[in-house]
A and B are shown apart, each in its own frame.
Chain A
Amino acid sequence: MAVTEAPPVTRPPAAASRTGAAAVTAALVLLVAALAVVDITQGTAAVGPGQVLKALTGQADPGDASVVIASRLPRMAAGILVGVVLGIAGAVLQAVSRNVLASPDTLAVNAGSYLALGLVGASGVSLPLLASSGVAFAGGLAAAAVVLALSGLGTGTVRLVLAGTALALGLNSVTEGLLLLFPQQTEGLYQWNQGSIGQNGFDGVLQMLPVALIGLVGLLLVARRVDALALGDDAARGLGVPVRATRVTVVVLAALLSAAAVTLAGPIGYVGLCAPALVRPLARRFRGFVRARAVLPVAGLAGAGLVLGSDVLLRALIPADTAVAVPTGVVTSLVGAVFLVVTALRLRDTAGADAPDRLRIPSRTAFLVTVTTLVAAVVGITLAGVLLGDSKLLLGDVANWVQGRAGQTVSFVLDTRVPRVLAALFAGAALALAGTLVQAVTRNPLAEPGVLGVSGGAALGAVLLVTTLPAAGSWGVAGAAFGGAALASAIVFGLSARGGYRQNRLVLVGIGMAAGSTALISLLIVLTDPFNAVKALTWLSGSTYGRTMPDVLPVALVLALGLAVAVARRTELDLVSLDEDTPRLLGLGLPRARLGFLVVGVLLAATAVASAGTIGFVGLVAPHAARALVGRRHVRVVPVAVLLGAALVGTADLLGRTVIAPAQLGAGLMTAVIGTPYFLYLLVRSRRAT
């Protein structure tokens, strides 16, 4: 499972000397300084370069001076501070985990902080900055601790990212639920979550500076040990470096840095991922950048350049008043997304075929028992879904309704409830099947429509249609979703087609696409309907609200098609998921078979998104759980995964509609809330087994 492992760092013969490294550092410092200067001349007040210069030399009128001192300079300082700490946190996390995907984003640190602040916001308490930073640190650290405890320090790096992304998804869902439930109390939090470096005076920067300094000094002190870790755990131990203690220290310090950044500016996405990656090629060229002590400051500078550059770009392109509404984080996410894709394409993909999961092969009886139980569970959930809701019904009501004899209230309740139940069940099944197909094709446990950006593309297509043509019908929305999904997957799979969908490249490009489409959706919401974030969130959170029978039709049809394909081609699926060579030896056209399955997977994901919004996790959890329950053969995996998917989303929808009735939460949120713990449990269990 060497999916996200960094390619081994081969040190080419030193091409340049220390002076080269110094020159590069100096150039970066100059770049950041130039960006900083441009940044302080931009803003909503009419304070341009001339006034700024006057203010700095003490000649401006007090109003202009106050703008420069209390708004521009703090913003610039915050941009630099946030960029530096995120860049360094990302670099050091990547170094200790030897994983190019490790960053505050993928370790769920940002998601943990966001949830902690969301909880405070929803409770209506207004905390002073340091206290809320403490809350954010606690949340971020707790999330990182959960991820690390579950994935096991110093064991698999894939598991680390898996646990991190999974937890981040779950936590973000809970926070989005809070946003929906407490729209007034959490007003601005959605925007804040996109990350913005605007500041209310210097206080924030001044209070966060010591926190950041503690983190930075701490990291520089352990830098030597971090270098040792790069050689591998055993080599490091051989050198007398306490591997575990070093990792814990580094993660705590990185969480501290991220929390400082989050409190100051909200989660500025993907800086922690991009900045170190920008610096990495330098390390190959200049010997001076081989050691952490030299690399960390440079990564910090790169981070500052990214954040300030995004801010400058944003304010240069968009009129000042609109630019206020568009958070800097959206831009860094977009930049980060493009960047990820480019990196992925340049990356020498060395991840070959991985060893199949070591799973016991259960007996036929066990399989039959599982299927029977699951069928019973799905039937039970369906009936419960139909009977339960704000108004409880009895089976006799349903019987009357089926025969068309029900009274007005009952027939109304069932007319609106049954399509929702069906939409949830079908969407769950379709996503599970899509996940199964994509995981088989890519042989990648992380691959699912959500992670690969397919769901994001579908949602973007649908949101684009819904915001421009509010009266679009269900086939229209399904079509737009498919258009978006097709485009997204054409880009993702097209770019990674070279070399036959190699694993690292596929997932990296996919995550880039997912991040990019999320950022674009946020941008679209902010620009078209800034005061109706709730409406868009409602749609994006995977809600079955307001679904009618015609909305359910597309996903039902595509699900039938997908099942037919999966059943007919089950042997091919087994072969494709096995390794690179066996199918070739057997004369199977590998790229074409893969493409076929992928197209079906994309169709399934797109129609599921169109009928029930973006529901994450199902495509990830269901196939995993199915393999754990019945082994890897697809003749068994497919039915179990599909049933599990239907049961999961069905339950989520049922709970979302009933637990906090008459208010309700989207099925997508509930799925993540249910899915996250199960997924984490799977991770723990698999660790015990190995």
Chain B
Amino acid sequence: MRRLLLTAATTTAAALTLAACGTTEPAADSAKKTSGAISLTDSTGAKVTLDGPAKKVVATEWNEVESLLTLGVDPVGVADVKGYKTWDTAVPLKNEPKDIGTRGEPSMDTIASLSPDLIVASSDLPDAAVKQLRKIAPVLEIKSADASDQIGQMFTNLDLIAKATGTTDKAKTARENFEAKVAEGRKALADAKLDGTDIAFADGYVTSNQVSLRPYTDGSLIGSVNKQLGLKNAWKVKGDPAYGLGTTDVEGLTALPEDVQFAYIGNDDDKSSNPFSGQLKKNAVWTSLPFVKADKVHRLPDGIWMFGGPGSMEAYIDALVGALTK
């Protein structure tokens, strides 16, 4: 132990001598220019002032990344780049942004080293962390989800980010595209006499021999889109106040109406996220469900982020309408 401590002490001493007294950045800092300043109020009511449209943007949550990409802004820093590439291929990354760490604890150091003009942060981050981020650059805090008005929240966020990046025209196009897509989908479903159909969207996770399911209630983003498409959410489960997600188990599926259309998204890169096409195949409750027998279960393509932005939701509408009208 003592020898260990001695070695530790001497090595650190040696390392410090080597690291001594250089600097990685010049000491002084010059004044900044200001022209065309933008002032905004973010989701938390905080005032954010920018010198001009932000070009170098860092985003801590995937729906913000998607919003940026939709607006034609390639973020310089993204939390969990690999995860984004797995779960959100509907709006793919065009550049190779720097990975700033996990979505829950993005690294301050890495963000600072990117010296961004703007940080788009999720309001799920701890307050202390946001306070620190404000020292690096202006921070736009975004409320990721609000079960009382999910689509409205999505566009509020998009508009806010658009204002900060000077891309309001693109936000407008995105909104129009989305509305057109909804109308198109709604019409296609009505033409196929599917309006008012009961729909249940869920995802699920398998751990060991247990299957836990997450019903997407009316309050979820997918649930809201379904409603706009003229479908009727069949879940009676209560969702959480932010994401509108409930919990249930396989038995809980028996509460769904007999002629319900059941849709889900999994991911082939994440085997535990695919109970419906895996574990449940042999489950007697599942196989005896009327909608399973009637083959009304639809797996939608991977890579549509269920908590994403208009891009993901358009892909969802295409996929769902395609599956239902097939």
Contacts and interface: CB of A to CB of B under 8 A. Distances in A.
Given A380-B13, A546-B129, A662-B99, A184 B273 contact: yes
Given A44-B252, A381-B12, A662 B101 contact: yes
A220 interface: no
A13 interface: no
The SS class assigned to the A binding surface is helix
A201 B112 contact: no
Contact of B5 (A320, A324, A377, A389): A377
B289 interface: yes
Given A373-B6, A395-B21, A662-B109, A530 B247 contact: yes
Interface in A370-417: 370, 373-374, 376-377, 380-381, 383-384, 387, 389-397, 399-400, 405-410, 412-413, 415-417
Given A45-B251, A63-B254, A548-B128, A70 B284 contact: yes
Nearest to B5: A373
A370 B2 contact: yes
Contacts of A183: 102-104
B212 interface: yes
A415 B132 contact: yes
Given A198-B249, A321-B247, A394-B21, A545 B105 contact: yes
Nearest to A666: B105
Given A394-B23, A538-B105, A545-B105, A121 B288 contact: no
Interface string A538-568: 1100010111100100000000000000000
A46 interface: yes
Given A188-B272, A377-B8, A380-B16, A321 B246 contact: yes
B245 interface: yes
B294 interface: no
Contacts of A324: 212, 247-249, 252
A46 B246 contact: no
Contact of B8 (A180, A198, A380): A380
Contacts, number: 282
Contact of A188 (B206, B242, B243): B206
Nearest to A382: B12
A30 B19 CA distance: 74
A24 interface: no
B9 A531 contact: no
Interface in B1-47: 1-2, 5-6, 8-9, 12-13, 15-16, 19-29
Interface stretch (B151-159, B275-283, B314-322): B275-283
A117 interface: yes
Interface stretch (A123-131, A342-350, A437-445, A571-579): A123-131
A395 B20 CA distance: 5
Q: Which of B126, B136, B214 has the most CB of A within 10 A?
A: B126
Contact of B272 (A71, A121, A546): A121
Nearest to A65: B288
A198 B283 CA distance: 13
A489 interface: no
Contacts of B269: 124
A539 B288 CA distance: 43
Given A377-B12, A405-B28, A63 B209 contact: no
Contacts of B282: 201, 203
B188 interface: no
B110 to A, nearest CB: 4
Contacts of A277: none
A255 B269 CA distance: 33
A69 B22 CA distance: 72
Interface string A284-327: 00000000000000000000000000000000000011101100
Interface in B251-308: 251-252, 254-255, 267, 269-273, 278-280, 282-285, 287-290
Contacts of B24: 391-394, 397, 410
B83 A184 contact: yes
B69 to A, nearest CB: 20
A185 B86 CA distance: 11
A44 B285 CA distance: 12
Nearest to B252: A44
A320 B248 CA distance: 9
B255 A45 contact: yes
A43 interface: yes
B131 interface: yes
A405 B237 CA distance: 58
A664 interface: yes
Interface in B162-203: none
A653 to B, nearest CB: 13
B107 interface: yes
B95 interface: no
A599 B48 CA distance: 46
B127 A263 contact: no
A383 B16 contact: yes
A192 B270 contact: no
Interface in B84-119: 86-87, 98-110, 112-113, 115
A412 B112 contact: yes
A413 B109 contact: yes
A410 B25 contact: yes
Given A266-B208, A324-B247, A394 B22 contact: yes
A671 interface: no
A470 B143 CA distance: 14
14 contacts: A180-B102, A184-B87, A324-B247, A377-B5, A380-B8, A391-B112, A397-B23, A405-B28, A531-B243, A546-B129, A548-B132, A663-B107, A664-B105, A664-B107
Given A370-B2, A395-B21, 8 more contacts: A67-B251, A184-B270, A200-B283, A201-B282, A321-B252, A396-B20, A531-B243, A664-B102
Closest 3 CB pairs between A and B?
A380-B12, A390-B109, A126-B271
